[in-house]
Structure 1
Amino acid sequence: MVVLNLQNNNFCGILPGIYMEQSRLKAIDVSYNQLKGQVPRSLSDCTMLEILLLGNNRFSDTFPSWLGKLPRLRVLSLQSNGFHGAIGKPESSLNFRKLQIIDVSFNNFTGKLPYEDFQSWTSMKVANLTFDRDNVYMVAVISTPLRYFNYFKIDVSYTLEMTNKGIKTLYEKIQDHLIAIDLSSNKFDGEISEVIGNLKGLHLLNISNNIRIGPIPSSLGNLTELESLDLSQNGLSGEILQQLLQLTFLTFFNASNNHLTGPIPQGKQFSTFENDSYLGNTGLCGVPLTKKCKISETLTQPPLNSEQGEGSNFPNKFDWVVIMMGYGSGLINEIVIGNELTRRNWSGFSRIWKKAVKVKVERGK
């Protein structure tokens, strides 16, 4: 047996802990039952396991960090249970090294976000650049011996339910490249560390409805693959940083019900987000909100363009003085002088000035 699918039944009691060494199990799905107690430690013998779905039960346990030793585990869902306590430091830097999707939402986890674990989730640090990645899915290959042929192979797709872009979504097939973290609806506290910006392959990140404080880290701008970012219902403060404009794939953004202040970033993907992305932040201003920003809030250094970059021909303070001299005399030719100076043509200054004076004298006759 390769796939054990017992989801959506009325099984109750504890999950049996009979898993032999050299188990061939690749997927276990016991979600949507009434199982309780602890996660059986014998699951650590399932070294071929890739998918473990325990969501929507009544498990009461601490975070099963010992599952990090499973060398092939890619998807772990513990959502909507009674898991509790802090997620401690990993025993090894190789813990969960193949993990792509983790969902611990709607539990009672406390303490800081597991930043030490973020460092070991190496599969989340690299974006999948495969051209046809949208057509590749996580599957279990089942080989059945036949009478006249060696083997008959069947691909069994894995399924998963998780929140995506604010909506509970059932994935009848899990895209092979999908990388997602859902830590929402727990009691995680403290600031969001810049370390989270190392997970550059992330597509979905949800840390809503916790007890987060402090600013939005600028390193979130490094998550250029991100499609959904939910920071709502925390205690975040400070501004929504301009670095988030770098998230060009972002189609869902929710920062509502925090203590954010200042102007909302304008342009790119942020021009598509509606009011509900920012509600409950009385200090925010700018489009799409009706509250306008004060001049002091919107004054920023204008970005350099191709004509204003370093080493360009754009006039400096001295150049403008020369241009104004031309206006004062009323001579068009002297404006040309000012423009010539902005091009740093210092060597031709004397010749141009004499020519201008000559023209002026001739016109005066």
Structure 2
Amino acid sequence: MSNNLLSGGLTNGWMYWKALVIIRLGDNNLSGTIPPSISFLANLKILHLNNNNLFGEIPLSLKYCQNLQIFDVGGNKFSGSIPKWIGHNAKILQFRSNQISGNIPPEICQSESLIILDLAYNKISGLELIYEENVKFTRAIDLSNNDMSGIIPQEVFSLSELHSLNLSHNQFEGSVSKEIGKLNQLESLDLANNKFSGEIPRSLAQLSFLGTLNLSFNNFSRMIPLGTQLQGFDELSYIGNPELCGAPLPKNCSDKKDVKPIEENDTDQEDEFLASFYIASGVGFFVAFWGVCIAIFCISSFRNSYFRFLFSIRDKLYVMVALTMNRFG
């Protein structure tokens, strides 16, 4: 019954239709609140109430719809916070364009079934950590146009199947971790209109499927990392970062030491290897040198053999020098 001109409130007689599995009432002119009787629909899997004039809080009674997998209430006037129970079996959660506030509950962040999370255009201010062992199958996260701040949680970069990430129009800050290069399935990344700073991570250029990129209007600085991936976007992807330079921006980088091509492996790993090698070599030389010295001064048999060896070398060198002198004498 979606895409009609239905108006008025939702009926409170849902208890008589317990066999319902799908409800689609989106894109109408419905108003009022979600009636509590909808909790009798234990078999309900899909509920579309998007693009209406519904308001109030998401009713607690909906927690009895334990088979609910797709819940779309975007484009309404719902307020309050996101219920903690709502993410247990959900695959698609869409709350876009409402007046939802508060934090994203950890129950949603820990949902193993979640594929799409769309909370854009609300008043959400906090994000709980997304644990590495969960949400491995999440494909899209849109948290744009909210009141979120702080840094991007490191756990986000463990979402190996993530295809789209939109954190634009918030108050996120700090640098973007090089761990973002682990999101090798990422096709769209939007971090525009935040307070991110520091260099654009070089690992971003290794995301071969990245087709949409927007880093505009932040505080990124220095040179855009070299690589066909990042230079393939136009300057609109980078404008609004006064300290950023390099192609495709018209501003050239005056500091040539910033020019550094992208390689498959980060140079940090090479530096760590060289440091470990030099340390190990030094320790090995130190141990060997003092081991010989201790043996010479403490073990008489070893000392006698050692000096006999040196005397034999001396005698051989003397004979070689004498023969050479006689040959040219």
TM-score by length of 1: 0.63
Provide, for residues 50-84 of structure 1, a one-character-per-residue CA deviation record: whole Å limited to 9, x for no partner. Answer: 11000000001102221123x3x100000000000
* 1:209-265 Cα deviation digits (max 9, x unpaired): 000110011111100000000000000000111100111000000000000001112
Residue 244 of structure 1 is aligned with which of 204, 209, 213? 204
Q: Which residue in the other structure is 1:109 paired with? A: 124
In 2, the alpha carbon distance for the partners of 1:304 and 1:32 equals 46
Q: Is the 8 A contact 1:194 1:218 kept in 2?
A: no
Question: 2:142 and 2:235 mapped to 1: Cα distance?
Answer: 23
Q: Structure 1: give runs of 5+ residues left out of the alignment.
A: 125-178, 310-365
CA RMSD of aligned residues (A): 2.3
Residues 1:215 and 2:175 are matched in the alignment: yes
Q: Which amino acid aligns with 1:52?
A: F
Q: Compute the displacement of 1:16 (Å).
A: 1.3
Amino acid at match of 2:192: S
Determine if contact 2:226/2:260 at 8 Å carries over to the other structure.
no
Residues 107 and 281 of structure 1: CA distance in aligned 2, closer, same or farther (over 3 Å): same
Distance in 2 between residues matched to 1:99 and 1:109, nearest whole Å: 19
Cα gap change, 1:280 to 1:119, in 2 (>3 Å)? farther
Q: Which residues of 2 match residues 4-23 of structure 1 at below 5 A?
A: 4-20=23-39, 23=42
Please state which structure has a larger fraction of its residues in helix.
2
TM-score using structure 2 length: 0.70
Matched, 1:279 2:205: no
Distance in 2 (CA, whole Å) between partners of 1:117 and 1:298 is 35
Q: CA–CA distance in 2 between the matches of 1:83 and 1:260?
A: 30
Instruction: Give the whole-Å Cα distance in 2 for the aligned partners of 1:290 and 1:194.
Output: 33
1:38 correspondence with 2:54: no
Per-residue deviation, residues 65-107 of structure 1 (Å, max 9, x unmatched): 21123x3x1000000000001224439x8x4220010000000
* Secondary structure at the counterpart of residue 90 of structure 1: helix
SS at match of 2:99: coil
TM-aligned CA distance change 1:301 to 1:25, over 3 Å: closer
Answer whether contact 1:22 1:47 (CA < 8 A) is retained: no
Mapped partners of 2:255, 2:237: distance in 1? 23
Give 1:158-237 correspondences, 5 Å limit.
Answer: 179-237=139-197
Deviation at 1:47, TM superposition (A): 2.0
Indicate whether 1:267 and 2:218 are aligned. no
Q: Which secondary structure does the structure 1 equivalent of 2:80 belong to?
A: coil
Q: Would the aligned equivalents of 2:116 and 2:140 in 1 still touch at CA under 8 Å?
A: yes
Tell me: CA distance 1:108–1:14, structure 2 relative to 1, closer, same or farther (3 Å). Answer: same
2:129 maps to a residue whose letter is Y
User: What percent identity do the matched residue pairs reach?
Assistant: 36
Match of 1:26 in 2: 45
Equivalent in the alignment of 2:250:
290
Match of 2:136 in 1: 122
Q: How many residues align?
A: 247
CA distance in 2, matches of 1:41, 1:57: 18
**1:80·1:107 contact (CA, 8 Å) conserved in 2?**
yes
Matches of 2:261 and 2:101, distance apart in 1: 47
> Which structure carries more relative contact order (alpha carbon 8 Å, separation 6+)?
1
